Amino acid sequence: MNAIAPVGVNASAFLDRGDVTGNAQRQKAADFLRHVGLPRVGVEAWKYTSLRALADVPFTAAPHATDDKAVDTLLAEIETISGLGAGASRVVFVNGYFDAGRSRLPRGVRVSTLAAGTLPDDGIDPVGDVTTALNTVLARDGLDLVAPAGVDGGCLLLVSIGQTGEAEPVSFHPRHRIVVEKGGRLALLDASAGRGQYLHNPLYDIAVADEGYLSHARVQAEGRQAVHLAVSHARVAAGGVYDSFTLTLGASLSRHEVHAGLTQPGASVHVNGAQLLSGHQHGDLTSVITHAAPDCVSRQTIKNVLSDHARGVFQGKILVERIAQKTDGYQMNQALLLSDGAEIDAKPELEIYADDVKCSHGATVGALDDDQLFYLRSRGIPDTAARSILIRAFLHDVVDQIDDQRLKDSLNLAVEAWWTREVA
Amino acid sequence: MPAVAETRKTVETLGQNTYKWGFETDIEMDIAPKGLNEDTIRLISSRKKEPEWLLEWRLKAYRSWLEMREPTWAKVRHPPIDYQDVHYYAAPRRKPGPKSLEEVDPELLRTYEKLGIPLHEQAMLAGVEVPEGQEARAPVAVDAVFDSVSVATTFRKTLQEAGVIFCPISEAVQEHPELVRRYLGSVVPVTDNFYAALNAAVFTDGSFVFVPKGVRCPMELSTYFRINARNTGQFERTLIVVEDGASVSYLEGCTAPMRDENQLHAAVVELVAMEDASIKYSTVQNWYPGDENGKGGIYNFVTKRGACRGARSKISWTQVETGSAITWKYPSCILQGEGSVGEFYSVAVTNNHQQADTGTKMIHIGRNTRSTIIAKTISAGQSDSTYRGLVRMMPKASGSRNFTQCDSLLIGDRCGAHTVPYIESRNMSARVEHEATTSKISEDQLFYCRQRGLSEEDAVGLIVNGFCKDVLKELPMEFAVEAQKLLQISLEGSVG
């Protein structure tokens, strides 16, 4: 009900860097960004997250991977936390560029990277949303991963490290493509970390073919000065499964936008996640799940644990198109506020055009339950320990929904590590 | 699903000719020329013999309206509205009061008859001068807004004895300027939103209720709103102030003549509840929804808001929305007083090409405030219905609670049902719970009823009534009956 129409923040600092000549997609994205700017609060899709802060930081193009010792330290930390063991396959990106020296390429799956400076013709609408547009203008590299038909590609670690040290702020915009062919399987642990001031703006183009199976767990543990703007575009075909999870731990400002489309009957998608935020962190999980075919299933559970002055945002839409009869959609969103300065803003949305559907959503917001605390205290458990048990139980509930046991274990380790660092 | 297919067929065949209250009254009107500018506002103000401060207030609203844009976030579509193509003032020609019902314009009487107003109330509404000592008594007081001017108000005397003021707001401006000036625009400021600003600039009439300290209003207060003259926008302004420990129940019912042109309606309702006060505001809205092709129908862009200013005060909104081509309406509560309570119970039925974007806002400011939201949405035909609600816990709202339940029922595969809740909490001890479901009438339930000998129509009616029960039971007795009838009629045209 604002009297003044929202006007975005000038994005020219980014646009001036991108060479869009000769590429219609990039040109279109640049024109769009020039026109709408970087969103600030007031645009409905960005109701609770403003990118205004980006305009004040002079981000420059990130330099190529260096032989920085700090990168190896961060990489070792991630490897430990992942629990996948030394020697596990990994693909490493440093400052948005593929780092062949640090990667250990897997067998069974086909791995390549974007040819320098090209943009794949992936059919993603360059102007569908701001995060995608920004990536389209500036993408320079990215992973191109294919799990071939009928092959179990095992478990792969994808690492992104942002390292600026004391240098000036940089931004990098990798564009990853992950394809699971008919009947193929893949588990992908996708971790990002870094130090210094940088913007990580990855785009994931995900396609799961008939009867394919992709489990994709993201651990966003960027440096506390970083900004993380991720967007996933996933399409799932008949009988395929895309099981995704986003664990948000790092960055001062982060948003992960998921667009998942169920395009053929019998497809299923899970868009789960947890945001564990403290200090003045701002974390935004936004998703649009589109049921574009009958008999599809979508599941979503999002949990927020917010302390200090942290702000958690969840915007989740389930869109059921007219054709998508017999849809089964469920969405749950819960937030635990651990301090009076913390804030949660949630907008769980159902948009339904088919009548023979079963769709529901639920949301709860509050502090730890006094009755539950009392129950534990009355059994001789000290207050801190009792709180710890309840918060971890709250989180366990959602991590437990990850199908793949290896990824589930990794995520549990990541949550434990966060717990040890932040609380204990 | 043969049963459902059959139901759908019934839906399609019935169309919209079942709109029972589609009639038009032909009475001489005093109409201002089309268009909106400062002169129109000055004209309205002078016709109503308003004091200078009110004119200034209107002009301020008009000037800010000029700077505003129509909100676009709601899930409704309509051709652009030409605000200059509307008459902003229309009043029935005033004649000296008739001596008996025979002298009253028969057209007016016929309108009342169709509205189902009892004869003695008709006399009062038509302004028949009743001889001393013969005053009829009834449990409901009616303030009929016949187009833009309240033709008459009944039961004033009974209310006066209790100390309750219930009159057209234009009259309140003359007789109780200090009250009106103090509260008007205090809940919905003139700059609040596009339609509220428009209303503040050009409102013609509406109801004013003032219940003084400690008084329980002796009867239910009721207003019939009608939109009657062709092309006159209706801009009602209602203000209800309830002082410490007092209470009132207010009923608002709406019907409108059938016509082709879209009509704009932008009302503002403001409620103020002081310490321990309680206000129950019930609405049955059945304006012309347009024909089965989506032609015509009322645009209903309403701003309704209540302020629970005092501790332990309570405001309860109940609405049954079956009419209008487009509904844009979010009755809200600002829970300021400690321990204050806000409630919102809603049934919204859309059919054919109707669009409804409705819901509520619960703003929890004070400690230990509580709110409950129960919204039931039924979509049929090619209609779209959206629940849009905000629950906001402010930093000081410690110990506050909200419970929200939104259920949608889809009838047919060409309609849409949407749920858009906004949940914002900035207090750790506040609790918010929200749940929403969307489904169709279950085959099992239908089968169960049919098995026990109910016809399909009756079965669907029964299930839908059960679906809405939580809301309907909140309506006052007089209204519950009308609402159930209304639902039945809407169902006739929608499910069988």
| Chain segment B7-19, per-residue pLDDT in tens | 444 434 433 344 5
| Phi and psi, residue A404, nearest 5° | -75, 125
Question: Region A15-42: what's the mean pLDDT?
Answer: 86
**A107/A147 Cα distance (integer angstroms):** 10
Q: Would you say A97 and A67 are in contact if contact means Cβ atoms under 8 Å apart?
A: no
Tell me which residue in A355, A356, A365 faces B432 most closely, judged by beta carbons.
A365
Would the ipTM clear 0.90, i.e. be above it?
no
The values of phi and psi at residue A8, to 5°, are -70, 170
B73 CB near a chain A CB, below 8 Å? Answer: yes
Residues A105 and A99 sit within 8 Å (Cβ to Cβ): no
Chain B residues near residue A363 by CB distance under 8 angstroms: 421, 423, 432-435
> How many beta-carbon pairs under 8 angstroms link A with B?
129
Which DSSP string do the residues of B96-123 spell out, in sequence order? PPPSSGGGS-HHHHHHHHHHT--HHHHH
pLDDT of res. B364: 98
Q: Is the pLDDT of residue B226 over 50?
A: no
Rounded Cα–Cα distance for residues A390 and A245 (Å): 21
The lowest-confidence range among A33-37, A119-123, A213-217, B210-214 is A119-123
Count, in order, helices (H) and strands (E) of chain B: 12, 24
Interface residue of A327, A365, A368, A370 to substitute, partner B, most B CBs within 10 Å: A365
Q: Which B residues, 173 through 192, put their C-beta within 8 Å of a C-beta on chain A?
A: 191-192
Nearest-Cα distance to chain B for A84, in Å, is 37
Residue in A244, A68, A77, A271 with CA at minimum distance from that of residue A165: A68
Contact criterion met (CB below 8 Å) for A82 and A157: yes
Domains of chain B, by residue range, sit at: 49-96+138-491
> Distance (Å) from the C-alpha of residue A318 to the closest C-alpha of chain B?
10
Give per-residue pLDDT as tens, A262-293: 999 999 999 999 999 999 999 999 999 999 99
* Ordered alpha helix ranges (H), B331-431: none
Looking at chain A, which residue has its C-alpha nearest residue B401? A366
pLDDT at site B275: 97
Looking up tokens 């479901």 gives: B437
The confidence score (pLDDT) of residue A61 equals: 87
d(CA B310, CA B308) in angstroms, rounded, equals 6
The residues with which A303 forms a beta bridge, in sequence order, are A274, A334
pLDDT score of B152 more than 80: no
Nearest to A49, CA basis, from A147, A130, A122, A148: A130
Chain B contact set for A338 (CB, 8 A): 428
The answer to whether the CB of B54 falls within 8 A of the CB of B42 is no
DSSP secondary structure letters along A121-163? -----TTSSHHHHHHHHH----EEEEE-TT-EEEEEEEEEEEE
Nearest to B464 by CA among B358, B354, B387, B376: B376
Q: Is the pLDDT of residue B235 over 60?
A: yes
- Give first-to-last CA distance, chain A, whole Å: 44
Is B428 touching A (CB cutoff 8 A)? yes
pLDDT, tens only, B431-459: 999 999 988 888 888 899 999 998 887 78
Average pLDDT value over all residues in chain B: 80
pLDDT per residue over A127-182, tens digit each?
999 999 999 999 989 999 999 999 999 999 999 999 777 678 999 999 999 999 99
Of A44, A337, A356, the CB nearest to B428: A337
Give the nearest partner residue to B438 out of A1, A352, A364, using CB atoms: A352
- All residues of chain B having their beta carbon less than 8 Å from the beta carbon of residue A322 are 413-414
Round to whole Å and give the CA distance between A143 and A102: 14
Tens digit of each residue's pLDDT (9 = 90 or more) over B262-294: 688 899 999 999 999 999 999 888 777 887 787
Of the candidates A268, A267, A215, the residue with the CA atom closest to the CA atom of residue A244: A215
For B328-365, the pLDDT digits (tens) are 999 999 999 999 999 999 999 888 889 999 999 999 99
E strand spans, B201-267: 207-211, 220-226, 237-242, 247-255, 263-265
